[in-house]
Amino acid sequence: METRDYLSYIVNEIHTVIVATVDKDGLPVTAAIDMMDSDDNSLYFLTAKGKNFYNRLKDKNFLAFTAMKGEDTMSRVTVSIRGKVKELGYENIPKLFEKNKYMYEIYPTIESRQALTVFQIYEGNGEWFDLSKKPIERENFVFGNASQETNGYFITDSCIGCNKCIEVCPQNCIIIDSIPYVIEQNHCLHCGNCFRVCPIGAVERR
């Protein structure tokens, strides 16, 4: 999938996400927020300017969220994003209301909607994590001008092919066709077992 597909999936297949911001003391605060629109490189949502959530967004211009879909753990897809936000104001409120008509029930009059403002998540890093696949599926993506973050476990040239990592990998996602072995990053759980058992420290955490 392309970045726009992940963003569209959040809006159209999940919609309500759990957003984390930080308060004035640097402590985390969560809120349930509807992601109301997307394009190739952005997500859009609204909030009321009288809410503490609005103040936290304006203070840091940053948020993180996780969105989930699925009946149970083993059928679940999650999409997580960390990104920068900016306030766009009232101009796009009518457009978002037309795309999300239930909002007319919450703010029924034009006067009541004056409290609302639109935010854009315009740059960030995301992760798609699908437990319904065997082995699990993990994909990273970026949007805006964000740089791709490298994280996970990687086997270095110090590998001696001892197979200790193979014995403890829950997803069997280590390719052993040649030395050094290679971890399939899009199937790795990031459990750290390979890092823990390698007798010569050939596994790096990044």
How high is the pLDDT of residue 168?
A: 98
Q: Tell whether 148 is covered by a domain.
A: no
* 117 and 165 share one domain: no
* 176 and 88 share one domain: no
**Could you give the CA distance from residue 127 to residue 142 in angstroms, rounded to a whole number?**
9
Place of tokens 């399939």: 184
* 126 and 172 share one domain: no
How many structural domains are present in the chain? 2
- The domain of 162 spans 153-205
How high is the pLDDT of residue 127?
A: 97
Q: Tell whether 184 is covered by a domain.
A: yes
* 41 and 128 share one domain: yes
Q: Tell whether 92 is covered by a domain.
A: yes
Interior/surface letters 84-102, b for 16+ CB within 10 angstroms, e for the rest: bbeeeeeebbeebbeebee
* 133 and 182 share one domain: no
* 199 and 158 share one domain: yes
CATH at 181: 3.30.70.20
How high is the pLDDT of residue 153?
A: 98
Output the tens digit of pLDDT for each of the chain's 206 residues: 999 999 999 999 999 999 999 999 999 999 999 999 999 999 999 999 999 999 999 999 999 999 999 999 999 999 999 999 999 999 999 999 999 999 999 999 999 999 999 999 999 999 999 999 999 999 999 999 999 888 999 999 999 999 999 999 999 999 999 999 999 999 999 999 999 999 999 999 99
How high is the pLDDT of residue 150?
A: 84
**Could you give the CA distance from residue 144 to residue 134 in angstroms, rounded to a whole number?**
31
Decide which of 143, 170, 185 is a domain's last residue. Answer: 143
pTM here is 0.91
